[in-house]
Every structure is written in structure tokens, then in C-alpha cells.
């Protein structure tokens, strides 16, 4: 096959077909004269080999879970099993159209329904929506549900405040603000919610409290029953940020802990690919009482048939085109089936073992602010490095030179120069040991090398503030930058 191009003085129409001596095709009818191309397209003149080498080189400059581990705390970067990818590419799944008649997509609807039932069991919260496209989207939708609930009770005017611990992920206060609430931070004590501070903060203005358990310090909030009593006693709702569900999978769940609403990130706990802000899936789970507020459509089963139901007068409405990211639902369902109930428990046990094993090893090089047994992740503080003028950022960059990914840094903010490390259950003890060795080499390197890192990658130290503020997103921008 090759591209055959029309003569230069003809309107340009491209056609993919074998080389032939035939006369050039007629221009496609219906394209107005003024919109037709007059000049040749400036296709790059490259051979196949050059193109292959270009893209292969680019792929080698990239970092991916298939080549190495991501110790990113809170992100739970798991291996994405190839079987799930294969299933998601089956024609019946890949080519299905979101607006096909329901009768022709019974299998897809059944899968959604079954996944929802499984997640209801896992979360202990009976009503589920798979619509949100990411965790933060799930948070926002849940906060809209809190609004709708309070409005129904005539309390929205006075219950305007969402409380959050100082270990909360940044998306929590952002979602609360977007949903029209004000936010108030509750101080932690020894890495967990300070109950006295919470008791002093709740009151007639409290709309809800957002919490992740285990929290972002990797610590299990064991006072959770009392936290739930305090928030409910003040008339607020308790929201579970499910980003850390991996640590308690099959052992306990948000429903049991007294939470009213939750989001889960399919792209964390259930090993679907991270979407870089979407397309992920930030499943919403709520109590039976709050089910009527979930987004439409809901997938319902009547008799042996499945269908979308839109007639839900109390629903917060539609929050996503079609019904969320179906390809991810399918991958997550495959993951659930392949592990089963006991497999879920093995996942969380192994994740906790990994965190404590690596935490103990790395604790030899930098202090751990909380010495308690952790769940899925742990914190280190880079404070001692400051004496040599080295910051946590320098250490993170130096780790890149070891061929490993850097951990999450400067979060949570309650720890000075924080490094937050999570190696999920998919990482072997060999991988943990290799990371510990790389960490030792990096943290004991000279300040000069730490400041200069990364020195062995295709891109050196970038000005991250400039990169965020002055985005250059296409090769044309780069060309202008070079010539301009
Ligand atoms: C604790 C916590 N909450 C919420 C989020 C937001 O999830 P998403 O990235 O899916 O929007 C994250 C993401 O890393 C997180 O770690």
C-alpha cells in the first residue's frame, strides 16, 4: 500500500491504495471549492526505518510500569495485567457504541451491573455509580450528593463547611470548594486525626468530613468509630476518599467504618491504567439512603434484562457522557474475577508487608516521622539533608539517575521535606531490595551530584515552575522557541 498524491495543480485528495497507473480520482463531491487544498501537504520525507527508529527511541526515553516500579505514595501504581488489556480489546468490547440500542448491549450492561454488585460488597456501601472519570471527579460528584441531601433536609443554607484533616490530598479541598462549600483543616496528632480538634470544629455549620483511611501518612485511623459518631452526632456526613483502599481490601471497608459516601479509583486498587487525570474511573459508592441522589443513568435489572434508568427525580443528574469509561470497568472486573475474595485479602496483606519491609530498610538512611506499623505506604523526612544544602527534590532527581522512578515528594505537608513511598503488592522483594540499594546510593552521594541530577537521562533538570506556567505543547511551539 502507498499514498498516491494527485498532481500539484489539482485539488489535493489523499487516498490509501496500491500504486497504480490509473487516472487521479475525482475530488470528493460535496467539498466546497473554497475549502479544497490548493498546495501539496508538507509531509515529512522519511523512510520507514527512520520512522521506526524515531518512535523506538522515543519509547526508550519514556518510563513505564512495564519497565520499572513507581514508588509513588498515594498513587498506588500497580502493574496492569496483560489479560485485562487483551479482554478490553475484544471486538465486542472495543467496538461497542455508547448509544447502541440496549437490546444489543446486554452483555456490557450485565458486566456493569455485576461490577457494581462486587464493589458494593467490597465497600460495604450498597449503591454504586461507575460514571466518574477519576477519583477527583468522584469526590466532586459525592459533594454534589451531600449538597442535594442537605437541600432535601432544608439545611443547605447553614451547613456550608467541609472539614478535612491536614493529611488530606489536595483534590479534597478543591472538590469541596468547587461544590460551593468552605473548608476547614483539622490538625493531626501523631499522624492521625486529633479527636479533640475534630470535636471542637464540628457543629451546626458542618456539612461533612472527608477522610482517607489509612491516611496519607500510611497510618490507620483506629479512632474511626468515634470519628463517625462525632461527625454524625453533629449532623454531618462522613466521606471516604478511597485512594488508599488497596491497604484494607477484603479486610475491612468504608461501610463498616461508618462512612456514608466513598469514591474508589479503579486505576489504583483495581489495576487499571492510570489515565493521567482521565480516562480513569472514580467509582462512587453510597449508603442506601443516599442512593436516590446518584448520577443518572443507573443500570438496573428487571427480570433477565438490563437497562439504563433515567427516571430518578432526586438524582444530581448526568456527570459524564454515556456511562463512564467502560473499558476500565471491564479491566477492573477481569481483575476482580481473577483474584476472587481471598485474593483481595492477599493483595492488602502483601501491600502492607511491602510497605513495612521497605520502610524499615529506608529508615536506616532518613528519619521516619511516625514509627508505628504502617499500612500501604510510609513517610520519610529529608530534613537532615538540609544541613548539606540538599533538598528532597534533589534526592528525587538523583533517584532518576538510578533508573528508578522518584517517590511522591512534599506531601503530606505536615512532614518537613516529605517523601511518601508506596510499593504495591505487585512488586517483588527483589524489586524492593533493588530500590533500597538505589536509594542508599542516591542519599549518600555528594551534594554536587545531588544538585546536578539527573545527569544520565535524555532530559536534565527542568524548570518545573516555568514548564507549568509556560506550556509548549506542540513541535511548532518548540520551533518558535528555538528561532524566536
Ligand atoms: C488520597 C488521594 N485522594 C484523591 C486522589 C485523586 O484521584 P485521581 O487522581 O483519580 O483524581 C488521589 C490521587 O492520587 C489521592 O492520592
Distance CA 164, CA 172 (A): 8
Q: Residue 481 has what pLDDT? A: 59
Distance (angstroms) between ligand 1 centre and the Cα of 193 equals 19
In the chain, % of residues over pLDDT 70: 91
For 57, 222, 458, 461, the CA distances from 61, given in Å and listed in that order, are 6, 44, 7, 15
**In 10 A of CB 451, how many CB atoms?**
16
Spell out which residues line ligand 1, taking CB within 6 angstroms: 74-75, 134-136, 169, 171, 212, 216, 241, 243, 265, 280, 282
Q: Residue 474 has what pLDDT? A: 74
Distance (angstroms) between ligand 1 centre and the Cα of 165 equals 15
Minimum mean pLDDT among 25-39, 118-132, 191-205, 325-339: which range?
Answer: 25-39
Ligand 1 atom with the shortest distance to the CA of 216: 1
Q: Residue 444 has what pLDDT? A: 98
Q: Residue 483 has what pLDDT? A: 56
Q: Evaluate the CA torsion angle 14, 19, 20, 21 in order and state its sign.
A: positive
Q: Residue 20 has what pLDDT? A: 44
The model's pTM: 0.88
Distance (angstroms) between ligand 1 centre and the Cα of 21 equals 58
Q: Residue 79 has what pLDDT? A: 94
Distance CA 468, CA 130 (A): 31
Distance (angstroms) between ligand 1 centre and the Cα of 89 equals 27
Report which of residues 8 and 68 the model is more confident about.
68
Minimum mean pLDDT among 126-130, 152-156, 185-189, 456-460: which range?
Answer: 456-460
pLDDT tens column, 453-465? 999 988 889 888 8
DSSP assignment string, 407-444: -EES-STTSTTEEEE---TTS-HHHHHHHHHHHHHHHT
Minimum mean pLDDT among 58-67, 367-376, 379-388, 402-411: which range?
Answer: 58-67
* Contact call for residues 408 and 72 (beta carbons, < 8 A): yes
Q: Residue 78 has what pLDDT? A: 93
* Contact call for residues 396 and 419 (beta carbons, < 8 A): yes
Ligand 1 atom with the shortest distance to the CA of 136: 11
Top-tier CATH class for 344-468: alpha beta
Distance CA 342, CA 347 (A): 9
Beta bridge partners of 285: 128, 262
Sketch the domain layout of the chain as residue ranges.
82-337, 344-468
Top-tier CATH class for 82-337: alpha beta
Distance (angstroms) between ligand 1 centre and the Cα of 382 equals 23
Going by alpha carbons, the residue nearest to atom 13 of ligand 1 is 75
Above 90 in pLDDT, residue 425? yes
pLDDT tens column, 201-211? 999 999 999 99
Mutate to test the pocket of ligand 1, among 167, 221, 243, 284 (most ligand atoms within 8 A of CB): 243
Q: Residue 477 has what pLDDT? A: 66
Above 80 in pLDDT, residue 275? no
Average pLDDT, the chain: 91
Please report which confidence band the pLDDT of residue 276 belongs to, taking 50, 70 and 90 as the band edges. Answer: low
Minimum mean pLDDT among 9-18, 89-98, 102-111, 209-218: which range?
Answer: 9-18
For 131, 285, 313, 321, the CA distances from 317, given in Å and listed in that order, are 11, 16, 9, 11
Above 70 in pLDDT, residue 480? no
pLDDT tens column, 379-422? 999 999 999 999 999 999 999 999 999 999 999 999 999 999 99
Above 60 in pLDDT, residue 92? yes
Amino acid at each position: 500500500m502507498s499514498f498516491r498524491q494527485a498532481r500539484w495543480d489539482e485539488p489535493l485528495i489523499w487516498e490509501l491504495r496500491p500504486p497504480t497507473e490509473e487516472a487521479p480520482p475525482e475530488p470528493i463531491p460535496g467539498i466546497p471549492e473554497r475549502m479544497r487544498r490548493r498546495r501539496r501537504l508538507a509531509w515529512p520525507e522519511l523512510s520507514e526505518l527512520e520512522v521506526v527508529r524515531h518512535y523506538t527511541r522515543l519509547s526508550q526515553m519514556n518510563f513505564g510500569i512495564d519497565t520499572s516500579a513507581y514508588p509513588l505514595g498515594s498513587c498506588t501504581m500497580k502493574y496492569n495485567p496483560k489479560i485485562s488489556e487483551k479482554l478490553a480489546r475484544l471486538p465486542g468490547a472495543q467496538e461497542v457504541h455508547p448509544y447502541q440500542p440496549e437490546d444489543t448491549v446486554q452483555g456490557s450492561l450485565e458486566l456493569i451491573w455485576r461490577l457494581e454488585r462486587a464493589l458494593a460488597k467490597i465497600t460495604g456501601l450498597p449503591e454504586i455509580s461507575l460514571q466518574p472519570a477519576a477519583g477527583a471527579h468522584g469526590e466532586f460528584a459525592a459533594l454534589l450528593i451531600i449538597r442535594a441531601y442537605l437541600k432535601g433536609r432544608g439545611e443547605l443554607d447553614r451547613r456550608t463547611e467541609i472539614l478535612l484533616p491536614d493529611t488530606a490530598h489536595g483534590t479534597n479541598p478543591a472538590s469541596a470548594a468547587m461544590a460551593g462549600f468552605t473548608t476547614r483543616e483539622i490538625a493531626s496528632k501523631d499522624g492521625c486525626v486529633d479527636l479533640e480538634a475534630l470535636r471542637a470544629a464540628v457543629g451546626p455549620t458542618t456539612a461533612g468530613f472527608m477522610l482517607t483511611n489509612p491516611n496519607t501518612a500510611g497510618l490507620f485511623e483506629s479512632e474511626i468509630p468515634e470519628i463517625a459518631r462525632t461527625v454524625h452526632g453533629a449532623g454531618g456526613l462522613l466521606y471516604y476518599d478511597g485512594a488508599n483502599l488497596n491497604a484494607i481490601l477484603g479486610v475491612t471497608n468504608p461501610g463498616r467504618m461508618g462512612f456514608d459516601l466513598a469514591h474508589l479509583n479503579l486505576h489504583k486498587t483495581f489495576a487499571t491504567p492510570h489515565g493521567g487525570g482521565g480516562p480513569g474511573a472514580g467509582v462512587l459508592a453510597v449508603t442506601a439512603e443516599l442512593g436516590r441522589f446518584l448520577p443518572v443513568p443507573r443500570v438496573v435489572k428487571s427480570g433477565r434484562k438490563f437497562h439504563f434508568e433515567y427516571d430518578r427525580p432526586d438524582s444530581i443528574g448526568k456527570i459524564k457522557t454515556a456511562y463512564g469509561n467502560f473499558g476500565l470497568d471491564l479491566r477492573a472486573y477481569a481483575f476482580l474475577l481473577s483474584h476472587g475474595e481471598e485474593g483481595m485479602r492477599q493483595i492488602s496483606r502483601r501491600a502492607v508487608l511491602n510497605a513495612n519491609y521497605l520502610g524499615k530498610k529506608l529508615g536506616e538512611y532518613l528519619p521516619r516521622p511516625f514509627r508505628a506499623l504502617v499500612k500501604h505506604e510510609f513517610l520519610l523526612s529529608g530534613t537532615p539533608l538540609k544541613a548539606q544544602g540538599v533538598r528532597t527534590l534533589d534526592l528525587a532527581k538523583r533517584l532518576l539517575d538510578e533508573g528508578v522512578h522518584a517517590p511522591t515528594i512534599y506531601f503530606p505537608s505536615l512532614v518537613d521535606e516529605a517523601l511518601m513511598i508506596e510499593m504495591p503488592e505487585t512488586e517483588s522483594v527483589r524489586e524492593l531490595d533493588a530500590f533500597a540499594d538505589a536509594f542508599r546510593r542516591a542519599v549518600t552521594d555528594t551534594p554536587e551530584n545531588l544538585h546536578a541530577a539527573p545527569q544520565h537521562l535524555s532530559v536534565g533538570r527542568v524548570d518545573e515552575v516555568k514548564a507549568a506556567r509556560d506550556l509548549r505543547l506542540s513541535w511548532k511551539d518548540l520551533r518558535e522557541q528555538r528561532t524566536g
